[in-house]
A and B are shown apart, each in its own frame.
Chain A
Amino acid sequence: MRMAILDIWTVFWRDWLVLRRRLAKFIFSRMVAPLLYLVAFGWGLGRSIQVESGTYLDFLVPGILALNSMNISFNSITPVHAERVYHKSLEEYLIAPIWPHAFVIGKVLAAVLRGLISSSIILALAWAFGTQLMLTPLFLLVLVLNCIIFAEIGFIAAMKVSTYEEMSQVNTYILLPMSFLCGTFFKTTALPEALRIIIELLPLTHTSYLLRELGAGGTASAVSVAVLLIYAALCFWLCRRAFSRLTC
């Protein structure tokens, strides 16, 4: 067990080393998109939109948190694709006497860290814009689960696709539609029934629901938490499988 934790730490340490060197750049670059969302949709467009639970800005911030943590976690792990296909540096981990799942867990945790740093920046900006969210341990758990799920999806893509172009297609066909349709900018009840059923099956929808409800001081839906846990477990299994198949 001690060795497994040590191996996970080693994989995580490598990513932390790279992040630490670029931390200021990372933080500033992560401020741009949420700042634009808050200004454009919160101050600009949001002034003319009424929602039941308060201002549109209060409604919007949990959605931005959900989609931003999704994007950052996914994109933080995709360099593994270059390590596998172009630099071949993944071979170092294949020949090393480490616990077989340490690589997956270490990489996912490093991407979760980046997702959480980015989420903290959004919370600070949202607070500066006058939004108040109830930050509870369950709120944080949902955010972490969302980061885990999309880091895992990024890892699977990094193991499976061959080119940079295919990698960006994952972004276009999976992440981009979810960014707009999964209850981030508007309630899913506004969607046609058939589309809504599909959207309800996606993890980001449940993250948006949960963050909005918990941020407003409400209670968490057990079904939504269960959906996120199932996605996290299923994607972890797929990550392990994809990594072990590198040697086939």
Chain B
Amino acid sequence: MIEIKNLQKKYPHKDASGRNGWKEALKGLTLSIRSGEVFGLLGPNGAGKTTTIRLLTMQLLPTAGAIYYGGKELYAHARELKNLIGVVPQHVNFDQDLTVGENLELHARLHHLARAEREQRISELLDYVELSESVNDGVRRLSGGMKRRLLIARALLHRPRILFLDEPTVALDPQVRRRIWAMVQSMAADGVTVFLTTHYIEEAEALCDRVAILNKGELVAVDSPENLRKQFEAAHLEDVFLKLTETRGAV
């Protein structure tokens, strides 16, 4: 369903001596993500995970390469394909001047939901993430876990078919993390394609049908967690991850 072909991204960068140059964040990524699967993108800090999500969700323009959703090139069908996508960013990016309900309403309006549908979806999703009581609170007043749940509710408002989650459980306590895992599993059961990045290997093992491992902007492995463990004769996916990223890092 998602085809990524030779995707590259370079950023303007100053080297140690202060000279202007380019830093390659992504070096020709080619990947296929199947419809309805939970796909995990793993990698150490600076591997290019967030850059990949930002490219796939049109928050960044690629330096080279192409992205296809259901055979349609992303930038040629931008507005149509944006309707298919839901994004849960790594950082909290709510409108700080609006309440919980108003943030959701803004998202629903930006996705052209009619008034009755807006009201119904907002109510349904606030129930789903157990934030109905906070509808009129300012977003600043929410705890970290509540903000994460609200980010998920917002991303699901317009019924996306593909959901991008960038480090969805970073810095959350185990209870909240498990609740978010349950939400991801329930979305996948509803046929939503889930693309997530994570630092937590056990999270990838618990949730993902397949994972890709990125290191320094390059794809170093892609397969199911089970197959990767077998291929590298490792007891845990974390061992595979360390083997691939440390070896590459030492080169």
A-binding residues in B (CB < 8 A)? 57-61, 78-80, 82-83, 85, 87, 89, 91, 93-98, 102, 106-107, 109-112
> In the complex, are the beta carbons of A97 and B95 less than 8 A apart?
no
A sample of 21 cross-chain residue pairs with beta-carbon separation below 8 angstroms, ordered by A number, consists of A3-B112, A6-B112, A7-B110, A10-B109, A13-B109, A17-B98, A79-B97, A83-B95, A87-B93, A87-B94, A89-B93, A91-B59, A91-B87, A92-B107, A96-B110, A96-B111, A97-B79, A97-B80, A97-B111, A247-B58, A248-B61
> In the complex, are the beta carbons of B57 and A95 less than 8 A apart?
yes
Tell me if A47 is interfacial: C-beta within 8 Å of chain B. Answer: no
Tell me if A94 is interfacial: C-beta within 8 Å of chain B. Answer: yes
Tell me if A196 is interfacial: C-beta within 8 Å of chain B. Answer: no
Measured CA separation A51–B124 after assembly (Å): 67
- Cβ of B97 to closest chain A Cβ, rounded Å: 5
CB-defined contacts of B80 to chain A, threshold 8 Å: 97
CB-defined contacts of A247 to chain B, threshold 8 Å: 58-61
CB-defined contacts of A97 to chain B, threshold 8 Å: 78-80, 82-83, 110-112
> In the complex, are the beta carbons of B106 and A14 less than 8 A apart?
yes
Closest to A79 in B: B97
Tell me if A18 is interfacial: C-beta within 8 Å of chain B. Answer: yes
Measured CA separation A17–B99 after assembly (Å): 11
- Additional 13 contacts, C-beta under 8 A, given A87-B93, A88-B93, A97-B110: A10-B110, A13-B109, A79-B97, A88-B89, A92-B95, A92-B106, A92-B107, A92-B110, A95-B87, A96-B82, A97-B82, A98-B110, A247-B61
Closest to B79 in A: A97
Tell me if A164 is interfacial: C-beta within 8 Å of chain B. Answer: no
Measured CA separation A163–B205 after assembly (Å): 41
> In the complex, are the beta carbons of A88 and B83 less than 8 A apart?
no
Closest 7 CB pairs of A and B: A96-B110, A97-B82, A88-B93, A10-B109, A97-B79, A89-B95, A18-B97
On whether A95 and B82 interact (CB within 8 A), knowing A6-B112, A247-B59, the answer reads yes
Tell me if A93 is interfacial: C-beta within 8 Å of chain B. Answer: yes
On whether A95 and B96 interact (CB within 8 A), knowing A13-B109, A17-B102, A88-B89, the answer reads no
> In the complex, are the beta carbons of B98 and A94 less than 8 A apart?
no
Measured CA separation A98–B79 after assembly (Å): 7
Most buried by B among A7, A18, A89, A91: A89
- Cβ of A10 to closest chain B Cβ, rounded Å: 4
CB-defined contacts of A98 to chain B, threshold 8 Å: 79, 110
Most buried by A among B58, B87, B97, B111: B97
Of B59, B91, B97, B106, which one neighbours A95 at CB under 8 angstroms? B59
CB-defined contacts of B98 to chain A, threshold 8 Å: 14, 17-18
On whether A88 and B91 interact (CB within 8 A), knowing A96-B111, A97-B80, A97-B83, the answer reads yes
Measured CA separation A83–B110 after assembly (Å): 16
Closest to B85 in A: A95
Give a binary string over A79-116; 1 marks a CB under 8 Å from any B CB, 0 the rest.
Answer: 10001000111011111111000000000000000000
> In the complex, are the beta carbons of A10 and B82 less than 8 A apart?
no
Near B by CB (< 8 A), chain A positions 214-248 give: 247-248
CB-defined contacts of B95 to chain A, threshold 8 Å: 14, 83, 87, 89, 92
CB-defined contacts of B58 to chain A, threshold 8 Å: 94-95, 247
Measured CA separation A166–B58 after assembly (Å): 28
- Cβ of B161 to closest chain A Cβ, rounded Å: 13
- Cβ of B217 to closest chain A Cβ, rounded Å: 18
Measured CA separation A248–B9 after assembly (Å): 10
Measured CA separation A89–B102 after assembly (Å): 13
CB-defined contacts of B106 to chain A, threshold 8 Å: 10, 14, 92
Near B by CB (< 8 A), chain A positions 178-223 give: none
Closest to A82 in B: B96
CB-defined contacts of A6 to chain B, threshold 8 Å: 112
Measured CA separation A93–B106 after assembly (Å): 10
- Cβ of B51 to closest chain A Cβ, rounded Å: 12
Measured CA separation A17–B106 after assembly (Å): 11
Closest to A96 in B: B110
- Cβ of A79 to closest chain B Cβ, rounded Å: 8
- Cβ of B61 to closest chain A Cβ, rounded Å: 5
Of A17, A18, A93, which one neighbours B110 at CB under 8 angstroms? A93
CB-defined contacts of B93 to chain A, threshold 8 Å: 87-89, 91-92
